[in-house]
A and B are shown apart, each in its own frame.
Chain A
Amino acid sequence: EIVLTQSPGTVSLSPGESATLSCRASQTSSVSYLAWYQQKPGQAPRLLIYGASSRATGVPDRFSGSGSGTDFTLTISRLEPEDFAVYYCQQYGSSSWTFGQGTKVEVK
């Protein structure tokens, strides 16, 4: 089973700043099956990025994903007030799914 480790656990930033979130896989993960989700309190997760770098429908272009192999990154440029939330990476392999433990982006 591939283990996903996200860092940092929490990042404190101000609106307008950029955020760089990391997701490292314990073994090579297919870019096809790497996704990122945003979750706000009291809500279900929302798909942001799939295939490591493709934005889901309706996702602003300040969100971008990159990476391959074992290292993947979600970048949020110019943080808006609504972007402060928890972000999870997810991967699919061997007929199972795993999530990273999440990165909280909080207001500084």
Chain B
Amino acid sequence: QVQLVQSGAEVKKPGSSVKVSCKASGGTFSNDDINWVRQAPGQGLEWLGGHTPIFHSTKYAQKFQGRVTITTDESTSTAYMELSSLRSDDTAIYYCARAFENVDTLTGSYSRYFDYWGQGTLVIVSS
């Protein structure tokens, strides 16, 4: 059973940066595709980016290009998301989630989805 445990809440000043961690257990971290999703108060889910180890690739949503950096530390099975130049509208709960690609051995069909989520980290940006 995969478990993703995130770091605690943060309060940041506008213009500063925040780095949120996501420690994984119960899986094979070196193969895990860890993504980051945020949810502003009362709003929907928004994908920021993700790291795909098998492709040695990190992808970011266009909206956050240049402001978000996703890294991983295999020695501690921990993923990190750093968001810079914070603004008040970055106030949100930030989630990490594992993307899983499933292959149905009977039909040969494949699918991809987020199967495990962290508990979320509240980031408040306020002067």
Number of inter-chain CB pairs below 8 Å = 69
Query: For chain B residues 110-126, which have a beta carbon within 8 Å of chain A?
Result: 110-115, 117-120
The one of B35, B115, B117 in contact with A56, judged by C-beta atoms closer than 8 angstroms, is B115
How many chain A residues touch the partner (CB < 8 A)?
Answer: 25
Closest to B50 in A: A97
A33 to B120, CA, bound (A): 24
A36 to chain B, nearest CB (A): 9
Residue pair A95, B59 in contact (C-beta under 8 Å): yes
Residue pair B111, A97 in contact (C-beta under 8 Å): no
A46 to B99, CA, bound (A): 13
Residues of chain A within 8 A of B44, CB atoms compared: 88, 99-102
A81 within 8 A of B: no
Pick the interface stretch among A12-20, A47-55, A68-76: A47-55
Residues of chain A within 8 A of B114, CB atoms compared: 35, 37, 45, 47, 90, 97
B42 to chain A, nearest CB (A): 10
Residues of chain B within 8 A of A98, CB atoms compared: 47
List 28 interface pairs A-B (beta carbons < 8 Å), by A numbering: A32-B110, A32-B111, A35-B111, A37-B45, A37-B114, A44-B97, A45-B45, A45-B114, A46-B117, A47-B113, A47-B114, A50-B111, A51-B104, A51-B110, A51-B111, A51-B113, A88-B44, A88-B45, A90-B45, A90-B113, A95-B57, A96-B47, A96-B61, A97-B35, A97-B99, A98-B47, A99-B45, A102-B44
Told that A97-B35, A99-B37 touch, could you supply 10 new A-B pairs with CB distance under 8 A? Answer: A32-B111, A44-B117, A44-B120, A50-B102, A50-B112, A51-B109, A54-B111, A88-B45, A96-B59, A99-B45
Q: A-contacting residues of B (Cβ < 8 Å)? A: 35, 37, 44-47, 50, 57, 59, 61-62, 95, 97, 99, 102, 104, 109-115, 117-120
